[in-house]
Chain A
Amino acid sequence: MKSVLPLFRCSTSIEHSVKRCQISVSTGSDQVIVQFFCRHGITKTYNVRFLESEALQAVFASHLCPNVLKSPARLLGDMVMHFHASQEEVTLSMSAPKVSLRNYNEGRNDHMKMMHTEMSLHPDEFDYFQAGMDSDITFCLKELRGLLCFAESHCLPVSVHFGTPGKPVCFSVEDMVLEATVVLATLADFESRGPSQPTETPAPTTHSCADAAALPVGIHETQSNNLQVLPDVTELVESSQGSPITYPPVLMQLQCQGDSACAGMTPPSSMICSLLFEAMSSEPGDDDDDGAPRLPVLAYFSDEEDYPRSPSL
């Protein structure tokens, strides 16, 4: 990309001086030939060498996604505008009454220092709203910003297709002359299903406030007195190259699925201790609600640098 982008950026008056651009590939000499036919009889030819590489294929059926949003790029652009330029990841939550976008921060150690931003929209704001299932997906904001910038400049609507966390999210724009699809991986974040479960209804704002008061390990109480265990991020996200999926240790997977289960719980600190011991000795399959296979933890959360980022395809 770096060798091709400057060709199109270099002239400030490129729209005025270039009459036609022709791009061709010469397989014989391994070169991409970009030619600009400019005014005043000037022709600029760039021969850029390329290397053979395998393209990543995103195997993703967007039409099978339970959740679909469609809106003018402007709407999504206005949503992401509120996040700081350095915000790397955001979480998009879909539940029947609304859609919300909030910033996602790894490493829940600095709750008091971080600024939490959340924006919620009513389904009516969207051109098309389909909530097949409640879901919170976390993905890279940077790539989305890039696509939105492009879509806004062309006034194109953006479609968002997604499903469960861990499965990719697809952003697409379509026009008469072009079609662009951006498939992003999402964090396999089981616990973030907590607030959007039909059985629990804590207001998202209190969820974040509760975050602020949470213990470093991540167990906290929401207003409705449900204990939720939020993960320290250690999971690797499923990538198209098929790298192994790592699930966090047992203690992180416990969820409280209803008021009854959580009422009268022991204080969080003793809860942690008992869970920790459990994690060390338990056999797989006992406590896991969703029955997902448990693989040994490959990397522990010791370093900030080890926290993986959601890769984009």
Chain B
Amino acid sequence: MPLSTQSQGDDEQYVLVANLDNARNLSNILKAIAFKDHAIFTATTNGLKVTVEDSKCLQANAFIQAEIFQEFTIKEDLVAFQINLTVLLDCLNIFGGTTTPGVSTALRMCYRGYGYPLTLFLEEGGVVTVCKINTQEPEEPIDFEFCSTNVTNKVILQSESLKEAFSELDMTSEVLQITMSPSQPYFRLSTFGNAGNAHYDYSKDSDMMELFKCTETQTNRYKMSLLKPSTKALALSCKVSVRTDNRGFLSLQYLVRNDDGQICFVEYYCCPDEEVEEN
């Protein structure tokens, strides 16, 4: 592969080098969280985590493990930078999005460190493109303090059934209400739109329900506008886990299989919509 014949000397200066034979394995998953222009890249020896946030209420993370890459070399414990995700995706797709079988864009992603741009070497059919994208000081991602010990309700569903529900959701509703309960209606998605209410009930015995662990009845509302981007991740995924904690914070975790059948994860955290009591 042409990109790997770079002289060893070049590699010395990079704190992060990541090679992918098929750039789509990265670009597809990044598209699932690309609802904002800017993303925070955090790299560790485990792999790459890309974070996008909205209004301090929503956070989406895409995890691409080191094993997904053909080569993943990191010289520091933690490498982090902020970058324009839209530009990055445009570069990753610079050869066009054609899905001719057997033809894929190879990627070599290099980063020299703080203050340096992210360098992308992209190759397809013998043609090499070099992109250098400026990086910014990374903002601290929000810590939603969502930990498994505080999880009150958890379900794992096959994405197929949720995909249908999300595509039919009444968009005139400002909120999406999620009810999880050990008794009826078990798992319910509700919208309150202009024409009326809609409820999608999933029985705990449904064959779409892979796991059902609800300890208490909880009903929480989330802004529809915040959750709408998650449908992209849902579309890519084969399974989704829905968890709420004692504060009503929502965690959606999507299991995504890439072109080569490898598993990546995308997760969304969302704050509940606080209702202002008017007494």
Contacts and interface: CB of A to CB of B under 8 A. Distances in A.
Nearest to A3: B195
B133 interface: no
Interface string B36-80: 000000000000000000000000000000000000000000000
B197 A46 contact: yes
A40 B210 CA distance: 12
A49 B195 CA distance: 6
29 contacts: A3-B194, A3-B195, A3-B196, A10-B167, A11-B164, A11-B168, A40-B161, A41-B205, A41-B206, A41-B208, A42-B200, A42-B201, A42-B203, A42-B206, A43-B200, A43-B201, A44-B198, A44-B199, A44-B201, A45-B197, A45-B198, A45-B199, A46-B197, A46-B198, A46-B199, A47-B197, A48-B195, A49-B195, A49-B196
B207 interface: yes
A46 B206 contact: no
Contact of A45 (B201, B202, B207): B201
A242 B69 CA distance: 77
Interface string A14-47: 0001000000000000010000000011111111
B151 interface: no
Interface residues of B, number: 20
Interface of A: 2-3, 10-11, 17, 31, 40-49
Interface string B190-232: 0000111111111101111100000000000000000000000
B164 A47 contact: no
A44 B205 CA distance: 16
Interface majority SS on B: helix, strand, loop or mixed? Answer: mixed
A42 B200 CA distance: 7
Contacts of A31: 196
A42 B196 contact: no
Contacts of B209: 41
A183 to B, nearest CB: 28
Contact of B207 (A17, A41, A43): A41
Contacts of B167: 10
